[in-house]
Amino acid sequence: MRRSRAHPCCARRYRLAQDCSLLLSLLLVSFLEAPASAQDAGSAATEYFGRGVAISVIVHDPSGEPISAPAIIKLYRGTIPAGQSQTSHGRAELFVTDIGDFTVVVEAAGYASTQKDVSINANGREQVDVYLRTSGSDVANAPGRPLLAPKAKKAVDEGVRAVAADHLDEAQKNSTKASLLAPGHPDVLYLQGLVLWKLRDYPKAQEVLEKATQMDSSHARAFAALGVVLCNQGKYESAVAPLEKALQLNPAPASWDARYALAKAYYGEGRYDQALQMSQTALSSSHGKAPEIELLVAQSLTAVGRYEDAARALRDFLRSHNDDREAARARRWLGRLAADGKIHTN
């Protein structure tokens, strides 16, 4: 329920539009693979002329024996199909005309779709062993995801880590590399969005992250980052939906930073009861990683009229973080609560 009464704690509203400082620890991605290459049109002759590689794929059932039923083998160079074949007695052979990083995807009735990355470093012959597992309903119903090749995945992972460490030059370098290897992949777009977020180009970051979430509706980290970017722009109403979606996709306590951002969005919308509940949950699950959450808890407690609880939260913050840059503001809040007669001063 929206509350319309004025906030009595501070002369000016809590700076919700400031950088949310999402730590990005939960935003480290691990997904698929990437570059672009010509689709395979080779044959056995290419191997003998030394211009390609024969890839022998052996598909094993859960016992380790070659699978007896036919299986479909699909080969990708990044997201680009590079060949397809069917096993006979658990074996299949494909030919490619150049070296590089590939992904082998195996599909067989009664088994979970399985993929394996392989790096082809020289002409000749390469053997790939793939071990299947029995499919379950969770696997069978899982939506397909675009593939991302090893080099692109490495660039994305290193780029996200660089963003989290505030190494912007390194993050930009890896973002550019990933974009060349896998343009338009949702994980690459996610990294681009994080870099733009760090550069404070919020409108462009919003555009890129929206595209990532449209391409992959299960990308929890992209939804969380999109919500933070919207929050940075003061678009609290728009920020609520992607942040709620991020927590729906990843409800683990480690998602405390998404909860913190959502609490800010709720507060900015005047949904103070929800802001209080969400900020308290974020504070509890953060385990002290973001003491500034305590100030949002105090702000929300004041907004719902729980002045003594708000004062207690501010005092707790000052006891633990007296040298924090926000300590002066916390003292002013306490002084204002006392001056307004909202709390006991003894």
* Cβ density class 134-164: b for 16+ within 10 Å, e for less: ebeeeeeeeeeebbbbbbbbbbbbbbbbbbb
Which residues constitute the domain of residue 252? 25-32+149-339
- State residue 16's pLDDT score: 52
125 and 266 part of one domain = no
**Chain centroid offset of residue 157 CA:** 11
Residue 282 is given by DSSP the state H
236 and 316 part of one domain = yes
Residue at 39 is within a domain: no
Q: What is the 3-state secondary structure (H, E, C) of 91-149?
A: EEEEEECCCEEEEEEEECCCECCEEEEEEECCCEEEEEEEECCECCHHHHCCCCCCCCC
Please indicate, yes or no, whether the overall pTM of this predicted structure exceeds 0.75. Answer: no
Q: What is the pLDDT of residues 155-179, one digit of tens each?
A: 999 999 999 889 999 999 999 999 9
260 and 175 part of one domain = yes
97 and 79 part of one domain = yes
Residue at 2 is within a domain: no
Rounded alpha-carbon distances, angstroms, from residue 90 to 53, 74, 104: 20, 14, 14
160 and 120 part of one domain = no
Beta strand pairing call for 53-60 and 124-131: parallel
CATH, residue 213? 1.25.40.10
Q: Considering 140, 174, 201, which residue would you say is the last residue of a domain?
A: 140
Token pair, residue 344, equals 């006991």
Residue at 196 is within a domain: yes
Residue at 3 is within a domain: no
333 and 186 part of one domain = yes
- State residue 42's pLDDT score: 35
Cβ atoms 85, 55 nearer than 8 A: no
Q: What is the pLDDT of residues 270-308, one digit of tens each?
A: 999 999 999 999 999 888 888 899 999 999 999 999 999
241 and 92 part of one domain = no
Of residues 176, 58, 173, the one with CA closest to residue 106: 58
- State residue 18's pLDDT score: 44
The low-confidence residues of the chain, meaning pLDDT below 70, are: 1-51, 62-64, 79, 122-124, 134-146, 253-254, 346
120 and 159 part of one domain = no
Who's near 189: CB < 8 A, 6+ residues apart? 208, 209, 211, 212, 215, 222
- State residue 133's pLDDT score: 75
The DSSP result for 56-77, as a single string, is EEEEE-TTSSBPSS--EEEEEE
The total domain count for the chain is 2
- State residue 80's pLDDT score: 76
Query: What count of other Cβ atoms lies within 10 Å of the Cβ of residue 120?
Result: 18
- State residue 156's pLDDT score: 94
